[in-house]
Each structure stands twice: as structure tokens, then as C-alpha cells.
Amino acid sequence: MFEATSAEDSPAAQDDAWRTILPADQTRHLRAVLLGRLVALCFGAGVDSTALLVALRAAGLRPDVITFADTGGEKPETLNHVQRINELLARWRWPLIHTCRKLTLPSTPYADLYGNCWANETLPSLAFGLKSCSIKWKTACQDQFLKGVARGPAARPPHALWLRAQAGGERIVKLIGYDCGKADMRRSQTTRGADADFDYLYPLQLIGWDRADCVRAIALALGAHMVPVKSACFFCPASKAWELWWLAAHHPDLLEQALRLEYRALTGRHSRFDEVEFGASWEALVRTADRFPSTTTTVGLGRSFAWNQWARVNGVTDELFQVRRDAASRARFLAVAEAMRDGGDNALDVRCASAAPDTGASLGREPVACDVRAVDLFAD
């Protein structure tokens, strides 16, 4: 059950900086909504879900269960962040993050989302405007961790929290880290507040935090080094152009895997690409054209653009579509990524290099002054 932390564990008793994170009215609001509930926190390992942990601790609240879904395609930085947060949770005496994975039958020719796409010669469903990859590889396995599975490779007994809820006629509330940015507000408005098994709540929206507030809260409470990179598969169709540049600089091997997957999907047996419509094959256009003609057809991982074509046109790859790895190319990739990053993007990369607790400003009121140049969010 969601209950207050003990006096010796209270944030205020440990660090004055915590007192600047939540105004008293926001603290009261969170406690009024959550105190006494059975709570499972869905940890996405990005900025929002990390800030959600901070907000709860600042309010003196502790969840019963914390889960993270690993699709097998997460960036190394994200997995490292999960480990670092678990070390932090251990010091807080909170439940540790349980990593959930979709388990497949031994006869299945794949074990993760990338392998699924590779075997089927297709792209993640998001490339076609669908969300089945998220449901299949993220939501379902976290639900199964709580509810249990009767048979199959994922067989497991129900979690104690689920048994408690069933025995007491209570409902578990799942906490989701949607902030007050436009994109997340749209997502929350199209998501049901409850289903047959769970209630859903978005605490960051209850306290009015946008992405910048989330970044400041993490920096104030945990330090700027704990602000994570965007949590998403390295081949996610929702990736922005600057994220591709960043991937080329930091993980050229992963970008090459994504390029190979795209090639296989757009030239394979399930390709929706119509050579007649475009006047040339997909590969020919990727190798010779600067862009695809305007169309509603998905032409690559970028939906309206192919990552392979983007990589060739921008000199990210050589003639064999191998990512350039020399020092000068990497420096160029980093410089372009830095120049293209936008504060309004969903992966806002502003960090507080320092934030003194005596500023007198609380999140949700006046912003805390930050030096956005002092810390590189994506430094290895």
C-alpha cells in the first residue's frame, strides 16, 4: 500500500534541496490522491519516469512495485541508468526495479523486438502508425509480472500485490510518467483512466510538471549526472534527426543494425513499397535520390524517409552503407546533433549544472536557474 516514508527516510531530513522540489500544495495533492492506494510504478527509464520517482519521494510516498520493460533494443545508456537508479532505490529502502521481458517459446526464431522484426522482414509497428510493438513488448510483460501467467515460457505466479488487491477487493493504480508537454498531454487524453485490471494515473500532470521541470527536479535531487537519455529502442521510428546523428556518433554499430533492418523490411517479402508508384525500386532511390516522392506509404524507419537514404545523403555512411568511424566524422556527427537539438523536443536535453537549494524557487513556480552548457547530457 502506498504509505508515507518514515521520519528518518524523509527527503527533507537528508538534504535541503529536496524542500525546493515540491510546493506544499502539490505535496498535499499527491498525498491526497495516492496515500493508501496499491501502487505499481511503470518505470520507462527516461526523464519523466525518473522525475516521477523524485516527485514521489519529495512527497514522502513510496510505491509498492516498480517495473521496467526491456524490449532488447534499449540503448546501453538506458540500461546503465536502470542499474544506477536501483542503487539509489536500495539506499532509499524502496522496492527495486524489476526488469520485465517478453519470453518466447524455444521454437520461436527470435527473443526480442529487433529479432521479431528481422524474422518477419518488417519494421516496428510504429513505422506504420500502430502501437502493437509497445503493447506486445512493454505493456503485456509488465501486466504479466503482476497478474501472473498460468502456462507457457512466461509462466509465473501472481505478484503478492495482485493477490492482495484481489483478496481485498481493491484496484492497483499504475503510475505513468506523462508530463505536461503537448505530446504527453495528447497521449494521456487518448488513454483510458482504467481498464478491467488497473487504474491509471499521471502524477506529473497532477503537479503541473513539464519536461524542463522534470529535468530540474532530477538535477536538484539527484545531481545533473542522473538526467537520463531518452529511453527508446535504437531503431525506434519516432527518433528525431538529431537522435540519428547522436546514434551515429556514440553507437555506429547500433545504427548499422537499424539500417540493415530497414533494408530487409523494405526489400523483403512483406514490403509495402510499390516500385510502380515510385518509378524505381526502393534500393535504387536510396542509392541515387535525395528523397522519396511525397506519399502516404511508409518508406523506411522514419515513415516519410528512409534512414539509409538519410545516412547516405548526409555522409554518415560510406558507399557500402557502413557508418564512418574516424575521429573527424564522429566530431561532425556530435556537432550536428548538438546544433539540431531543440528544447521543445520530447527528449529535452537541458541539465542543471548546479542548483543551490537556497534559491527560494520550487518546481511548478519560478524555474531554477540552470547552466545548460555546462553538462553534456549524452556524454559517455
Task: Give the C-alpha separation, 144 to 374, whole Å.
Answer: 42
pLDDT at 105 over 70: yes
The answer to whether the beta carbons of residues 188 and 178 sit under 8 Å apart is yes
**Closest by CA position to 312, among listed 301, 303, 321:** 321
pLDDT at 165 over 70: yes
Task: Give the C-alpha separation, 190 to 326, whole Å.
Answer: 45
- 31 and 100 part of one domain: yes
More confident residue, 70 or 273: 70
User: Is 357 within the bounds of a domain?
Assistant: no
Strand bridging mode 3-4 / 61-62: antiparallel
Q: How confident is the model at residue 15, as a pLDDT?
A: 58
> pLDDT tier at 155 (50, 70, 90 boundaries)?
very high
* Long-range pairs, 293-297, Cβ under 8 A, ≥24: 297/272, 297/273
Task: Give the C-alpha separation, 226 to 218, whole Å.
Answer: 7
Rounded percentage of the chain residues whose pLDDT exceeds 90: 74
Q: How confident is the model at residue 2, as a pLDDT?
A: 57
- 207 and 251 part of one domain: no
Residue 264: which domain range?
Answer: 241-340
Q: How confident is the model at residue 185, as a pLDDT?
A: 87
User: Is 312 within the bounds of a domain?
Assistant: yes
Residue 241 has which C-alpha cell?
534527426
User: Is 359 within the bounds of a domain?
Assistant: no
Task: Give the C-alpha separation, 27 to 62, whole Å.
Answer: 13
**Residue at which a domain ends, from 199, 226, 253:** 226
User: What sign for the dihedral angle of Cα 187, 190, 196, 198?
Assistant: positive
Residue 77 has which C-alpha cell?
545508456
What pLDDT digit, counting tens, does each position of 281-311 carry?
A: 999 999 999 999 999 899 999 999 999 999 9
- 295 and 324 part of one domain: yes
What pLDDT digit, counting tens, does each position of 170-224 carry?
A: 999 999 999 999 888 888 877 777 889 999 999 999 999 999 999 999 999 999 9
More confident residue, 6 or 185: 185
pLDDT at 10 over 70: no
The answer to whether the beta carbons of residues 197 and 188 sit under 8 Å apart is no
Q: What one-letter code names the amino acid at 228?
A: P
Task: Give the C-alpha separation, 379 to 250, whole Å.
Answer: 9
- 190 and 320 part of one domain: no
- 171 and 279 part of one domain: no
The answer to whether the beta carbons of residues 100 and 73 sit under 8 Å apart is no
Task: Give the C-alpha separation, 162 to 77, whole Å.
Answer: 32
Task: Give the C-alpha separation, 45 to 58, whole Å.
Answer: 19
- 252 and 220 part of one domain: no
Q: How confident is the model at residue 277, as a pLDDT?
A: 87
- The DSSP code sequence of 86-114 is HHHHHHHTPPPEEEE-----TTSS-SSHH
User: Is 41 within the bounds of a domain?
Assistant: yes
**Closest by CA position to 146, among listed 133, 156, 131, 137:** 156
The answer to whether the beta carbons of residues 274 and 254 sit under 8 Å apart is no
What pLDDT digit, counting tens, does each position of 14-44 carry?
A: 456 677 899 999 999 999 999 999 999 999 9
**Residue at which a domain ends, from 226, 251, 283:** 226
- 246 and 212 part of one domain: no
Residue pointed to by grid coordinates 503537479:
207
Give me the chain's average pLDDT, please: 87
φ, ψ (nearest 5 deg) of residue 343: -60, -20
Task: Give the C-alpha separation, 163 to 155, whole Å.
Answer: 16
Q: Residue 180: left if φ>0, alpha if ψ -120 to 50, beta else—which one? A: alpha
- 139 and 203 part of one domain: yes
CATH number of the domain within which 141 lies: 3.40.50.620
User: Is 232 within the bounds of a domain?
Assistant: no
Tell me the CA distances in angstroms from 11 to 61, 85, 144, 155, 209, one per residue in order.
10, 16, 33, 39, 19
Residue 285 has which C-alpha cell?
532511390
- 39 and 180 part of one domain: yes
Cβ-based neighbours of 239, under 8 Å, separated by 6 or more: 232, 247, 301, 302
User: Is 236 within the bounds of a domain?
Assistant: no
User: Is 373 within the bounds of a domain?
Assistant: no
The answer to whether the beta carbons of residues 100 and 92 sit under 8 Å apart is no
- 193 and 106 part of one domain: yes
User: Is 378 within the bounds of a domain?
Assistant: no
- 30 and 61 part of one domain: yes
Residue 50 has which C-alpha cell?
525518473
Structure letter (DSSP) for residue 268: S
**Residue at which a domain ends, from 169, 193, 226:** 226
Q: What one-letter code names the amino acid at 348?
A: L
Beta bridge partners of 194: 199
For the chain, how many structural domains are there in total? 2
pLDDT at 7 over 60: no
Task: Give the C-alpha separation, 12 to 135, whole Å.
Answer: 38
- 193 and 267 part of one domain: no
